[in-house]
Amino acid sequence: MKKQRYYLSLNSEETRLVLRSLIRMKNRLTAQGRYTDCVDELISKITYG
């Protein structure tokens, strides 16, 4: 069975807001000594399309 994919269309302001939130989350996870792989993957998908 295939995984269902979702696509999100964001304008530039929304993209900035999402990226800022993901970077904050990554910083919190790093400070806690936790893995940031999933957040890194999302950041790369948003910035590089």
Q: How far apart are CA 22 and CA 18, in angstroms?
A: 6
Give me the pLDDT at residue 31, please: 98
Q: For 1-43, how does the pLDDT look when each residue is reduced to its tens digit (9 = 90+)?
A: 889 988 889 999 999 999 999 999 999 999 999 999 999 999 9
Residue with tokens 């993957």: 41
Residue with tokens 């964001």: 10
Residue with tokens 């990554």: 26
Domain boundaries, given as residue ranges, for the chain: 14-48
Give me the pLDDT at residue 6, please: 87
